[in-house]
Amino acid sequence: MADNLEKLVETQLIINGEWRPSLSGQKYEVRNPANPEEIVGFAARANADDVNLAVEAAHKAFPEWSSLSYHERAEYLRRVDKELVADKEDLQFRTRLFTREHGKILKESGMEMSRLGDRFLLCAGYAERLSQDEELQGPPFDTIITRQARGVALLIVPWNWPLSILGAKLPQALITGNTVVIKTAYESPLAPALTIKKMVEVLPPGVINLVTGPSSEIGDALLTHPLARKINFTGGIESGRHIMAMAAKTLKPVTLELGGNDPAIILEDADLSQESLQRMAMGTFLTAGQVCMALKRIYVHTSRNKELVEGFTGIVSKHLVGNGLNPDVTMGPLNNEDQLRFVQGLVADARQKGATVNEVGQIEDKELFKRGYFHRPTIITDVDPETEVVKKEQFGPVVPIIPFERIEDAIRMANDTEYGLCSSVWTTDKERALQIARQLEAGYTYLNAHGPMAQDSRAPFGGFKESGIGRALGFEGVLEFLEYHSISSAPGWLF
Q: How is the chain split into domains, by residue range? A: 2-258+471-484, 262-457
Query: Residue 232 forms beta bridges with which residues?
Result: 155, 255
**What CATH number labels 2-258+471-484?**
3.40.605.10
For residue 233, pLDDT beyond 90: yes
Predicted pLDDT at 195: 98
For residue 147, pLDDT beyond 60: yes
For residue 247, pLDDT beyond 90: yes
Q: Which active-site residues does the annotation give?
A: 257, 292
Q: Residues 244-281, buried b or exposed e (16+ Cβ, 10 A)? A: bebbeeeebbbbbbbbbbbbbbbbeebebeeebbebbb
Predicted pLDDT at 115: 81
| Banded model confidence at residue 5, pLDDT cuts 50, 70, 90 | low
The span from the first CA to the last CA of the chain, in angstroms, equals 65
User: 335 by DSSP, 3-state: which?
Assistant: coil
How many whole angstroms separate alpha carbon 317 and alpha carbon 360? 5
How many whole angstroms separate alpha carbon 77 and alpha carbon 486? 28
Of 160, 180, 159, residue with least CA distance to 169: 180
**What CATH number labels 262-457?**
3.40.309.10
pLDDT (tens digit, 9 = 90+) per residue, 280-332? Answer: 999 999 999 999 999 999 999 999 999 999 999 999 999 999 999 999 999 99
Task: Give the other-Cβ count within 10 Å of 343's Cβ.
Answer: 23
Write the CB contacts of 181 (distance below 8 Å, at least 6 apart in sequence).
51, 54, 55, 58, 152, 153, 154, 155, 209, 210, 211, 222, 228
Per the CB < 8 A criterion, the answer to whether 350 and 400 are in contact is: yes
Half-sphere exposure in the Cβ direction for 288 (13 Å, CA): 29
Question: Does 2-258+471-484 match 262-457 in CATH topology?
Answer: no
* Percentages (nearest 5) of helix, strand, coil residues in the chain: 40, 25, 35
For residue 4, pLDDT beyond 50: no
